[in-house]
Structure 1
Amino acid sequence: MNLHQQFQQTRDAFHANTNPSFEQRVDKIQKLKRVLLGNIDVFAASIAKDFGQRSLQDTMLEILPIVNNIHYTLENLEQWMKPSVRNPGVLLASTSEACVTYQPKGVVGIISTWNAPLMVTINPLTTALAAGNRALIKMSEFTPNLNAALKTALATEFDETEVCIIEGEADVAAQFSALPFDHILFTGSTTVGRLVMKAAADNLTPVTLELGGKSPVLIDDTISISKAVERIVVGKSANNGQYCIAPDYVLIPDNKLEQFIEEYTAQYQQLFTEGVDSPEMTSLATEGQLTRLHSYLEEAQNKAERIVSCHPNGYRFEDRLISTQLIINPAADSLVMTNEIFGPLLPVVTYETFDEALQIIESNPNPLALYLMSESEERQQWVTKHVTSGGMCINDALFHASVDDAPFGGVRESGIGAYHGIEGFHTFSHAKTVLKTGEHTLVKQMFVPGDNEVKQMIAQLLNG
């Protein structure tokens, strides 16, 4: 069966049941839960094989939020599905009732990526099923082992017209995004996100784009360097920096630089005692990743003050393993400062004044995440209100994305739209306003010749 035939069969199946009941939706989510929990070892082994080396904690860090999201969705779905009662307004208040009902959109296209392949596939799928949709999923060509394992596991619980895994190279991805889906959710780079959006525009398909960008860490002079490093090193080391919300560069007062370097390397070596030989380290997922980051490092040798390896055993290129490399004050036009890094390189840029640091952030496109390390309540509130980013952590990094009861998404070049929680349910639902009018209507009185109470009421409203 080709891609177009699979899409049409899925659409036909949706039209046979355009609004699954609460019980039917719960049943599908429970099936998804059984697929996940019954195959954790298989999925973990498949991801490790695709990566080359995937640490146990990084795989658990990926799977745990999926389980939490499923539980959260099951606990809240009944409430989400209820119509939302609205105020019909002064003119209709005495004669009509208004509400918003949430209908399934139909067939959802999910385009996932390779860095956290299970999480960026199952999390949106959970919410799409909760909203009553069916889904086709285009998985990354860089995770063939997981793709095969997940496809086999899903087939034990789902018909292909409910959930279907699609595999293939860039040509298949282009065909996939050109299908007339009722919604597309894409996770990946900004460059590819633009192509997906262009393809979707031909069908007027709404899109949610989970992209990335350069997520800054802003350290001020009120927080201890030890505390700041503790939060950053975990966020940067998770998946060896291969998350779209990984800390991308650090801004730090110039008089704190040497203390930061010393503290970061010390704490890093506590986590990865053997450097690249540590079993806790995850390898770069592809040769392309290694080649790209190696070119960044080579350029930084000439366009930065210095490079500090966080562990003396910092490289094992044949296995695509690199420990975190601190790149001190790279040039503003260097590769590490003009591209999303997506790996274990961490530029550290010094500043003299806090305003100077803010200007650096604001000179870049809006980031997917912003990490403020500060003990100043006033500064925390100011940055929260005035600096635009998809999400934000104060004195933490990365883990805002694990909050199920809050949206996750970017701003413009870092993303469009959001999912997670009720916002995700709304993303995959059509919100339909329904007005129900009783035996009488006052609107007609507006058109009756002469004066009447309705016209007098409108006149009063217009006159304030």
Structure 2
Amino acid sequence: MADARALLQARLEQQRHAFTAEPYPSAALRRDRLARLSTMTRHHRDEIVRAIRQDFGHRAEAETRLTEIATLLQAVGHARRRLKRWMKPRRTAVPWRLVPARARVHHQPLGVVGIIAPANYPWQLALLPAVDALAAGNRVMLKPSEHAPTTAALMARLAGRYFDPAELDVVEGDAEVGRAFAALPFDHLLFTGPASIGRQVAGVAAERLTPVTLELGGKTPAIVADDADLTHAARRIAFGKWLNAGQTCIAPDHVLIDAARLPAFVEALREAVAAFYPHGTASDDYSAVPGEAGRARLEAMLTEARDHGCRVIELGERIELNRGAKLPPTLVIDPTVRLAIMQEEIFGPWLPVIGLRDFDAALERVAEGPCPLALYAFTDDPARRRRLLEETRSGGVVFNDTLWHSAVPGLPFGGVGESGMGAYHGEAGFLRFSHQRSVFVQSRRSPVGLLNPPYRKWLLKLLGL
């Protein structure tokens, strides 16, 4: 392990020396780095699809192209088109007492940015933060998940072909390597994953005063109000929940709905699943859940819910694969708050559906709980939408749909409270990985010299001080 730490430190120092030699890359060079990232992804998309499928046991090809490849290419294009505007210093007003001095904000690269990525979207969640970090002029060291080893190996090989390791360096390795990686003295560290690991990463980074961005997920609720169209709500929730078999940090975790409408909503979910996956879990468009530990955790949740009398509705059959397994879309009706399925982020294809008194009860329940990474609400009532925005907290809010806010490059993506800290994507990511440096330019004819000691009471009074 000592050898691994020394090797990682040497790779960090290589990047740091390169950054010191070129602390403010030109817009042309930044655009070139982004273009190479795009080319690396676009030209090797079939290899990426195969690698992710192998890591999962089965991953729907359309889901990989949509969520891993198209999302990254869109982010690169967005950044390249707007980079010069983002880099331009921003002028700011100065108090009248300091006129004719000038002030501006200069966006300075931080240095070397570390990224620790998860396995659920192993290409996108590793390289999407790298887009923002490279746009901001930084060097990047990246630790892909050890739970997606085929994708990590492909990423390391391709990065070595398209980038100098002093620009973008991909570090393969197990959890021990990941812990050593988190302890490196980066200028900024971004972690995506569960809150339990995020706390450890934040603690290790704090010892070196390394600033962190944490994307942690949580219990994302979907509220279905009494004015919502049940068919539409069911289809959009079904899409968001069972994309990637529920292994999405912003997937709907549970549904809150008026108790009187719950039976009809369950039937609408049945119809949506049947329409999306006509061959059930055998459909090529339905993805697998990799990792024995993760599946065991999910099975324990479901067993506990059954043991406590919850009605469990399986909308398909379980299929075992060489690597991973296809777990069916499953509804759990009215679980109590003390069950694990309502305490932990599910991160799988189980969907609790909970009947409540009305919209006010649902809003109260969300407001009292931990802040989720996303909040979904199906209602066209402007007053209800306003109340939801004012009375709850979450990383993002979506009305009448799920997930798609993360595909808008201009929207910041990040959590609050238990769901994380800091945001990136687009300009928010450029700013996250930049130091907003204050610049003040004094005029030679400035009157501030009048404020030198000895202080004149009449002047202080004149200036309103």
Q: Give the TM-score range, shorter chain.
A: over 0.9
Are residue 67 (structure 1) and residue 73 (structure 2) matched?
A: yes
Cross-structure match for 2:127: 122
Are residue 288 (structure 1) and residue 293 (structure 2) matched?
A: yes
Could you say if the C-alpha distance between residues 333 and 163 of structure 1 is closer, same or farther in structure 2, counting changes exceeding 3 Å? same
Cross-structure match for 1:89: 95
Q: Which residues in structure 2 correspond to 1:259-298 (within 5 Å)?
A: 259-298=264-303
SS of 1:283's partner is coil
Are residue 80 (structure 1) and residue 86 (structure 2) matched?
A: yes
What CA distance in whole angstroms lies between the structure 2 residues aligned with 1:445 and 1:83?
Answer: 30
Cross-structure match for 1:372: 377
SS of 1:142's partner is coil
Cross-structure match for 2:170: 165
Judge conservation of contact 1:445–1:455 (CA < 8 Å) in 2: no
Q: Once the 2 structures are TM-superposed, how far is the Cα of residue 454 of structure 1 from its aligned partner?
A: 5.0
What CA distance in whole angstroms lies between the structure 1 residues aligned with 2:351 and 2:318?
Answer: 15
What CA distance in whole angstroms lies between the structure 2 residues aligned with 1:457 and 1:206?
Answer: 44
TM-score, normalised by the number of residues in structure 2 = 0.96
What CA distance in whole angstroms lies between the structure 2 residues aligned with 1:450 and 1:224?
Answer: 71
Q: Which residues in structure 2 correspond to 1:226-375 (within 5 Å)?
A: 226-311=231-316, 314-318=317-321, 319-375=324-380
Task: Structure 2: give runs of 5+ residues left out of the alignment.
Answer: 1-5
What CA distance in whole angstroms lies between the structure 2 residues aligned with 1:358 and 1:175?
Answer: 42
Aligned length: 457
Q: Once the 2 structures are TM-superposed, how far is the Cα of residue 231 of structure 1 from its aligned partner?
A: 1.1
Judge conservation of contact 1:87–1:93 (CA < 8 Å) in 2: no
Residue deviations 1:169-191, cap 9 Å, x none?
22111111111100001000101
Q: Once the 2 structures are TM-superposed, how far is the Cα of residue 202 of structure 1 from its aligned partner?
A: 1.1
Q: Once the 2 structures are TM-superposed, how far is the Cα of residue 196 of structure 1 from its aligned partner?
A: 0.7
Q: Once the 2 structures are TM-superposed, how far is the Cα of residue 303 of structure 1 from its aligned partner?
A: 2.2
Cross-structure match for 1:383: 388
Q: Once the 2 structures are TM-superposed, how far is the Cα of residue 450 of structure 1 from its aligned partner?
A: 6.7
Counterpart amino acid of residue 393 in structure 2: T
What CA distance in whole angstroms lies between the structure 1 residues aligned with 2:39 and 2:222?
Answer: 38
Q: Which residues in structure 2 correspond to 1:130-145 (within 5 Å)?
A: 130-145=135-150
Residue deviations 1:279-326, cap 9 Å, x none?
111000211221111111111112243011123xx2124551112100
What CA distance in whole angstroms lies between the structure 1 residues aligned with 2:358 and 2:58?
Answer: 42
Match of 2:403 among 398, 404, 429: 398
Q: Once the 2 structures are TM-superposed, how far is the Cα of residue 122 of structure 1 from its aligned partner?
A: 1.2
What CA distance in whole angstroms lies between the structure 1 residues aligned with 2:309 and 2:378?
Answer: 24
Counterpart amino acid of residue 316 in structure 1: I
SS of 2:463's partner is helix
Q: Once the 2 structures are TM-superposed, how far is the Cα of residue 449 of structure 1 from its aligned partner?
A: 4.3
Residue deviations 1:236-283, cap 9 Å, x none?
111110000000000010100110111101110111111111111100
Q: Once the 2 structures are TM-superposed, how far is the Cα of residue 193 of structure 1 from its aligned partner?
A: 0.6
What CA distance in whole angstroms lies between the structure 2 residues aligned with 1:317 and 1:334?
Answer: 27
Q: Once the 2 structures are TM-superposed, how far is the Cα of residue 448 of structure 1 from its aligned partner?
A: 5.0
SS of 2:219's partner is coil
Q: Which residues in structure 2 correspond to 1:171-210 (within 5 Å)?
A: 171-210=176-215
Cross-structure match for 2:219: 214
What CA distance in whole angstroms lies between the structure 2 residues aligned with 1:454 and 1:207?
Answer: 46
Residue deviations 1:163-222, cap 9 Å, x none?
111111221111111111000010001011111111111111110001110000011101
Q: Once the 2 structures are TM-superposed, how far is the Cα of residue 451 of structure 1 from its aligned partner?
A: 4.5
Task: Structure 1: give runs of 5+ residues left out of the alignment.
Answer: none
What CA distance in whole angstroms lies between the structure 2 residues aligned with 1:284 and 1:35?
Answer: 27
TM-score, normalised by the number of residues in structure 1 = 0.96
Cross-structure match for 1:51: 56
Displaced runs of 4 or more, over 2 A: 447-457
Judge conservation of contact 2:133–2:433 (CA < 8 Å) in 1: yes
C-alpha RMSD over aligned residues: 1.4
Counterpart amino acid of residue 231 in structure 1: R
Counterpart amino acid of residue 91 in structure 1: R
Cross-structure match for 2:3: none
Are residue 104 (structure 1) and residue 109 (structure 2) matched?
A: yes
SS of 1:348's partner is strand
SS of 1:2's partner is helix
